[in-house]
Amino acid sequence: VKVAEPIDLQKNVRVGRREKFGETQLNCVDLLNQLQARVPRDAYVVMGVTMSDLFPGPDWNFVFGMARIKNRVGVFSFARYGDEPKLALNRAMKVISHETGHAFGIRHCTHFHCLMNGSNGMNETDRAPLHVCPSCLRKLYWGLQFDPALRYQKLGEFLTEENMADQSAWFQKRATMIRP
């Protein structure tokens, strides 16, 4: 992971206000346009991260994040995950991983209960697993050629460090099941 220079949000990014709440939002289509112009040749994905709320257009209230499947860019906001740190981290990991999956070219999954299922609200996000299904894992593997057992092990270790025992146990079990 490399951290790029921040984008100047005063230039070329429309700002909106949620009429009901008066909160400032950033137009994520404009952000994606800015990011798309900055994708290095050697990058897999460029993901914008913001604390500001996002909206893609006037007919939308908000989005948690958005990505362009063919352009290797996405944007993600921490704005709507609540005040409880562990729950907020769990939600953020799901959404940023989901948007990163889109930026890798993976569409919404309709085969299994999967991180790449579509979500129309926080309840659906909360019900989504933190892992991808076998079909979506295969798509990631095809593009990246990683060691799935090592990936599961590292994710399990990270989740253990973050005191997320249930999620950690799932990943650690998968790591031991597929290790030669």
What is the set of active-site residues?
99
> SS3 sequence, 115-170?
CCCCCCCHHHHHHCCCCCCHHHHHHHHHHHCCCHHHHHHHHHHHHHHCCCHHHHHH
Closest among 54, 74, 46, 59 to 9, alpha carbons compared = 54
Q: Which amino acid is at 123?
A: N
**56, 32, 47, 7 alpha-carbon torsion, rounded to 10°:** -110
> SS3 sequence, 69-133?
CCCCEEEEECCCCCCCHHHHHHHHHHHHHHHHHHHCCCCCCCCCCCCCCCCCCHHHHHHCCCCCC
CA separation for the pair 11, 22 (Å, rounded): 22
